[in-house]
Amino acid sequence: MPRLDDDHTGTRIKEQRKLARLTQRQLADRLPYSFSLLNQVECGAKPANLDFVAAVAKALRVDVTVLTGQPYVTELQQDRLAGLVRPIREALDLYDLGADDTLPEKPAAQLVASAEHLCAQVRATHLRNAARLLPATIADLTTAAWRTQSRELWQALASTYRTAHDVTVKLGYYDLSSVALDRMDWAAGRASDPCLSAIRQYMRALVYFREGEYTIGQRLVAVGHSIVGAAEQTREALAVTGQLHLGASVIGARADDRTAVDTHIAEAARCAEQTGDASEVHWLSFGPTNVALHRMSAEVEMRQYDEALSQARQITLPAALATSRRAHFLIDKARSEMETGRTEAAFGSIVEARHAAPEQTRYHPGARETIKGLVHISRRTPDSLGHMAAWIGL
């Protein structure tokens, strides 16, 4: 049976456990998982799911990225993406410097359109294009907002900082994504936009979701509800409220809190009934379809893989659904198929995700662990799976 290479999540867990001077048994005692599973993950006999990695990271008091090996520097360099990250980092540091007199004035409508275009690029999973355009767009919007003090431009700048967060998260630069969220809060405050401020709390909650700090994530969602609840109850505010509930449902699932999951999914469904498809609202993809996708994701997080697949079969993805959401669905489906022994179907779902969103799939921790898992459980690695494994750097 093929084995994983020596540079996998289990190896890094073992290294960090030893640095913490813990035996396997001592670390297992701090986890909501068995000693047997920890042993299998460390020796490479079983892939590490994201919820398991988050629990280990919390127990060892290290960032999840230490255990997952993110960012995937070699692959980023091969894709010529690593060189795009530094300009983004520098652009995020311009926020308090005022207007740059060397930049020409541009019409507000053009700048707002540029911000919207970046959001569209991320939803279409064109990460390279978005990363390339981000620095100049941030610089132009920062200067224009300082010059005019226009609410519309502060909103556009906050949206662009949110895009910077999206791009850097997908590439594995979580430290930089946190900086982008701080800048988003700064710009949203100047725009006096409660919906943008609430979205920022939602995205902060997902940061803690990845790190396994579910209580903090739930508190951030509650703050988001307080912010948007104090605003005028428009369709925009209702969509943001619904998305906050969806975020809370997945956090509740990771915390294995079925009551919280059911409550938040029900509230999100209620909001979706009133908004209908609200995909255009802050590019959240909110609506009945996204509620169904989160209901399935919650089952995946609670390791109810048969139920997740049952729900997946009932979901019809609309043609207009954002590619990023479509790929995420396929990755969740692949994980569930692998965990229930449907290896050929799992590989097919990963291939479909790669076809739909190659950059997102290559850098998605769940996709990578699923591919590694398929390699391990295959008695003989077919060429197609071998090529997929090589593609992610295995």
Give the 3-state secondary structure of residue 95. coil
User: Which residue, chain included where needed, has tokens 């401020």?
Assistant: 197
pTM: 0.86
pLDDT beyond 80 at 394? no
What confidence score (pLDDT) does residue 7 get? 65
For 223-314, list the strands marked E by DSSP. none
pLDDT tens for 124-141 read 999 999 999 999 999 999
User: Measured in Å, how far apart are the chain's first and last C-alpha atoms?
Assistant: 16
What confidence score (pLDDT) does residue 6 get? 57
pLDDT tens for 197-234 read 999 999 999 988 888 889 999 999 999 999 999 989 89
Alpha-carbon distance values, 355 to 137, 204, 249, 360 (Å): 29, 30, 29, 10
Environment class of 387 (CB within 10 Å of its CB; exposed 0-12, middle 13-18, buried 19+): exposed
pLDDT beyond 70 at 390? yes
Position 41: which residue type?
V
Show the tokens assigned to 385: 């799976």
- The fold adopted by the segment(s) 195-320 is 1.25.40
pLDDT bin (cut points 50, 70, 90) of residue 5 is low
Show the tokens assigned to 311: 């729900």
pLDDT tens for 32-73 read 889 999 998 898 878 788 889 888 998 998 888 788 877 777
Position 31: which residue type?
L
CA distance 172 to 169: 5
What confidence score (pLDDT) does residue 54 get? 87
Position 218: which residue type?
Q
Helix H or strand E encompassing 15: helix 9-19
| C-alpha 305 chain-centroid distance | 20
CA distance 390 to 375: 11
Interval 239-251 mean pLDDT: 97
Cβ pair 302, 252 in contact under 8 A:
no
Cβ pair 248, 215 in contact under 8 A:
no
CA distance 372 to 375: 5
CA distance 103 to 114: 16
Question: Sign of dihedral through CA atoms 216, 222, 226, 231?
Answer: positive
User: Which residue, chain included where needed, has tokens 């969806």?
Assistant: 246
Show the tokens assigned to 329: 């669905």
User: Which residue, chain included where needed, has tokens 């280990």?
Assistant: 56
Contacts made by residues 216-220, CB under 8 angstroms, sequence distance 24+: 217/247, 217/248, 217/251, 218/248, 218/251, 218/252, 218/260
User: Which residue, chain included where needed, has tokens 């740059």?
Assistant: 100
Give me the residue spans of the domains in the chain. 1-69, 84-192, 195-320, 322-394
pLDDT beyond 80 at 314? yes
pLDDT beyond 90 at 108? yes
Position 154: which residue type?
W
pLDDT beyond 50 at 1? no
Rounded to 5 degrees, what are φ and ψ at 25?
-65, -40
Cβ pair 386, 378 in contact under 8 A:
no
Classify domain 1-69 by CATH architecture. Orthogonal Bundle (1.10)
pLDDT tens for 149-206 read 999 999 999 999 999 999 999 888 888 999 999 999 999 999 999 999 999 999 999 9
What confidence score (pLDDT) does residue 212 get? 84
| C-alpha 298 chain-centroid distance | 14
pLDDT beyond 70 at 4? no
